[in-house]
Each structure stands twice: as structure tokens, then as C-alpha cells.
Structure 1
Amino acid sequence: MYSVSTIWTYFDKPIRFLLIVLMMLISACASVNDDSSSSTPAEALPTQENLPKFSNQNSGATMPTGWTFYRIAPFKKNTVYHLEKYQGRTVLSASSKTAASGLAIKLVPRSAQNLWLRWEWKATGMIPAADNADQQNDDAPLRIMVAFDGNKSKLSLKEKMNFELANLISGQEMPYATLMYIWSGKTPVDTTLDNPRTTRVKMIVVDSGQEHIGEWRLHERDLSADYQKAYGEAAGKVIGIALLTDTDNTQSETRAYYGDIELIRK
């Protein structure tokens, strides 16, 4: 049996945060307050049928309705999220200074077939040292993650070990697979990046570099098609969504905005 300290040492910094992000997509067991003064057990958190729109909520609130705050690790600073009236509508503001934390929402499982993810986001500046192809500098002003269910029994021995170790660390199971849409610092748009330690996370670059900085960017992605291209198999059910703005690896700072995030049948 592995000790927790041995398990934690096994994972370097980038894979640690990815594993914990993945676990929080499902467990949502971290604090729901930015100061982490209280925590909510996973079983007490309801699954959501729909993604609540930020634009329909009151500005000034720390936590948008339906979403749960999660910490990446107890020794990391938290990215600060709050609802803000910005350019005529309520959006989610993210301010990160050598920090990494995010928001997640548990969803009622639904088929990925003909299911599209639609969202808007805006980066106000780049993270100069960020390079998502380099695990030591893997930061991003904007990330949105989609978690999928699947048959874990067919995974490789290495992946099963990763899942077991993650479960021992957190007491929660990782999702079968995750798509992570990112605004990358250097990697070209439409590139799919693999994580060096796990095949169960695929990063898809939808914006990159200085182009479109300061602009609202609207994206629509066919989840089934993206999953098929990334994993070479049909997608399982969608079970969670998370977002993350992180600057911990590059020890930098950034500010970004998330508009409404929606799941749409076409």
C-alpha cells in the first residue's frame, strides 16, 4: 500500500494539479468559500441539469449559483473569482497571482452525441513565460474542462495505477476522460496536447498568443467530434464542467473573464 506522502511525491507539480482538477470535477469536495473556511461534502452537492448563466446572476457575489470552488493544493494560493458587472453584463472575473484554483459543477449525466459546448471568454493579457507544451510552465489565463464517464476496466495498467493513486490521495475517483479547452501562450490553435503522465487528459488549443487579446471570443465545440478526434473512440456521457485560471508554475499574474457557458443540442 502506498503512503500519502509517497503518492504525492510521485506526481510532479503539473500532473498534481491536473489530477486534482479532474477529481474535483466529480467530487466537488473542496471549500465553497474563497477563504476555504468551510467545506461541503461531495454527497451534499446536487447535480445540475443545466449550467446556470453568469449573466442572469447578481454582480458582486463571490460564488456563482451552482458552481463549487476547489483548491488545487493546500499550499497554493487561490485564484480569486467573483461575479462582476463588466461591459454591460454580469460575467465571472478571474484574478490570479502565482495562484491556481478553479470552479466546478456536477452535471446530470447526458449523452455527448450532438452536444455542443458554447462559451465566451476574454483574456486581458498573456502570461509571457507560459508554454502548455512544457509541463514546468503549463499555465493559462483561461481553461474550460469537460469530464466524461467511460469503461475504466479497459484502461492500461499504468492508467489504472494513476486512478488508484488519485483515489488514495483524495478518496474520490477520477473521471474516465477529460477534454480541456485552453487559451495557450505559444501553441497553435487546433493543436491537441497530451499530458506526459496520463492519457486521460487532452488539451485542445482554441485561442493562442497575443491575437485577440482584449477581445471577447465566442467558441462552439462539438464535444462528440472533439472527443473522437482526441481519444479515437466514441465519447461517454458528460458528467461535469470546470474552469481554471492558473499562474502558479510561471509565478506570474493575469486577469481574465468568463462569459456564459452553455451545453446545446444540435
Structure 2
Amino acid sequence: MLNRKLYVIYAILLLIALFTMVALWRFSHNRTLPVRDYKDITQEGTLRIVTEYNSIGYYVSGDTIEGFQYELSKAIASLAGLEVQTALDMSLDNSFRMLEQNKCDIIARNIPVTTEMREKYLFTEPIVLNKQVLVQRTAQANNHNPPIRNQLQLANKTLYIPKDSPSRVRLENLQHEIGDTIIIKEEPLYSSEQLIILVAKGEIDFAVCDKKIAENASEQFPEIDIETDISFTQLQSWAVRKNSPELLDSLNSWFQQLREKGIYDRIYQRYYSE
């Protein structure tokens, strides 16, 4: 009789524990983070930005930090009277997670905007015009095999990109356009610059990256060819949360002021001029 009562008590305690676990799980998944918009940012006095480390956006030169995204964000912070707090993350997907979790306010990198992305995030007016190019070896560096010039020749070729690169969307669309398979390899450990080095050394045959990054690399590695476009010219922007419309309006206003003052053009010409 006593054992039966103990079993009943244990069963009740087990049900209570299970109910508590389910309730906590639902709470953790259903709770919403507080809205963080322009007013909250100005009250804190800090603009949190995440960007990627590369030869255009953000990099260390000697004992100074340089880069298009870095200088642009500093110019905006000066205009707005805010302090910039910059985080670095090579993964675009992870940057979006940081944005959703209020760990940053802006993804300050060149993002080709798609319809799917617009459903989830807000994007500034275009920051730059850019395109993606195929990085391959020149004929002289590739046993006199001529570089690919027709995108139809990419059928069944293996193209390398950094993990979570926006280039993946373009390559998936390109498969449909040529009516054949393109093998897309996402490398979790390598940046665009590192993939270019692997192409130059002959360890891989093809990589895809932004044109300007490829142009910078071609000065150091004359054995690479970057003359084949993978995409048309794209409008690329910064991203903010869907519930931060005031921040978006402020950013567009600041960009306009920087253009009117000539500051934007000076920064742009330093990193993107031909």
C-alpha cells in the first residue's frame, strides 16, 4: 500500500517537472526582445555595428584601422554625436542573428538585397554599386588553358565561396539560367581573400567574390584572372531590424548629409575608385 502511494507521488512530481520544463521552453521561445530603435540608441549614446574583416570594409594597416565600412560608420557617428561599437563577424547569417538578438543595431557590409531579405529586414538606400566576379587563373598560370568567359562553361564546375556568402543566392539563380548544375562549396574557414590565394596557388580552380576585393588581390597575384562577371551590377546596402524604422530613416538622412558635404565621395573614392 505504501509503495503504491509512493508511486503516485513520484508520478505527480514527474508530471509537475515535465509541465514546468514545457512551460519554460515555451516562455524562452515565445518571449520577444524589447524594441531597440533610434530613441534607445541615442539614450545609450552607442551605435552598435557588426561588419566583416576584409581588404575593403574593415582592416588593420600598421597600427591604424581602415576600411570603407569603418570610415563610413565613424563619419555617421560623428554626425549623429554617437559612439561606435564595432564587432567583427565573417558570417552574414550570424550577423543577422546578432541583429535579431539586439547584439548590434546595423549590419554594415555590402549586402545584395533580395526580395526574401526585404521580408525580414529593413535596408538603407544603396551604399555602393558592386558585382560578383569569377576568380580563376590566367592561361599562363594554368597550363595555357584559357579562362572561362561564357557562364555556360560553369556547368559541373566547382565554385568556392566563404560560408554564408551572399554570392550563393546568385550562383543558385545562375544554375537555373544555364540549365545545369554548378557545384557550390561554402568554406567555413576561409575569407574571399584566402580563397583567391588558393586559386592563385592552384589548390582550387574557381572562387567567386566582390569585384573590388578581386581587383585588390590581382595587384598582388598577377596569376589570377577576374574578367568574367558572375552577376550584373548590384545595389548593396546596410541592414537594420524590421522594428527599427526610425533608425533606418536616420541612417538614410545621415548618408544624404554625408553626400551633400562631400564626405561620402571622399571615402568612396579612397576605396572604390578605379
What range is the shorter-chain TM-score in? under 0.3
The structure, 1 or 2, with the larger RCO (C-alpha pairs under 8 Å, 6+ apart) is: 1
| TM-score, normalisation: structure 2 | 0.23
Higher helix share goes to which structure? 2
Greater strand percent: which structure?
Answer: 1
